[in-house]
Amino acid sequence: MENITLQNSPKFHFVPTDCEDVVITNVTILAPERAANTDRSTQAAGGCSFTHCKIDVGDDNIAHQGGQKDPGTRFQSEDITVTDCVFRHGHGMSIGSETAGGVRNVTVKNCTFENTENGIRIKSDTRRGGIVENLVCDGITMKNVNPAITFTPATYQGNSAGDAKLASGAQTNAAPASGNIPAYRKHPTAATSRPRVPRRRD
């Protein structure tokens, strides 16, 4: 998908699902700054790249989702690269909140964040669990972004500086007494890319 503009979708702008080797280049995605759920989302994809894209929306600029856990595969989304992109307004470059199916091997390189609520973040909670593995960031520029990096395994609402709950002093990220806590890690034997197991098709 290349050289197009997606604008003012009432919900997600673009969601490749159960895909492999997807290439998105020179795509612009625009939505009002406070328009909820107007993100660009990747759901259960293997081998997905974004290059030279501009994303200015009211929710996650890009959200990599792990979907639901599948007994036939350990990671629903893997081998994702985001390079030379510009994010203006939005909630940042996110992994989650759907992490139950697992996400691994995500590289974010040479990207600029301007006025986003978050920069790089992994977000999930104890309803989902799952594994997020091998996130690599390099050559990132951020302007007026707070916080720059966020990992939230318990609850992810109310963690940016502009959030009303955080401004009021409310506790928003307390660890739960029990639950399916997600794991964020770099695998000790991780490679830049791993051979993908073909997905099961019904």
Q: Name the β-bridge partners of 122.
A: 95, 151
Instruction: Give the whole-angstrom CA distance, residue 37 versus residue 132.
Output: 22
Instruction: Give the whole-angstrom CA distance, residue 171 versus residue 160.
Output: 13
DSSP 8-state assignment for residue 144? S
The answer to whether the Cα torsion of 42, 47, 48, 49 is positive or negative is: positive
Catalytic residue of the set 56, 59, 60, 125:
59
Tokens of 202: 């019904």
For this structure, is 79 an active site residue? no
For this structure, is 187 an active site residue? no
158 contacts: CB under 8 Å, gap ≥ 6: 164, 165, 166, 170, 172, 173
Contact by Cβ (8 Å): 92, 123 = no
Catalytic residue of the set 13, 64, 89, 91:
91
Backbone angles phi, psi at 65, to 5 degrees: -110, 145
Q: In the chain, helix, strand, coil percent, each to 5?
A: 0, 40, 55
Residues designated catalytic? 59, 91
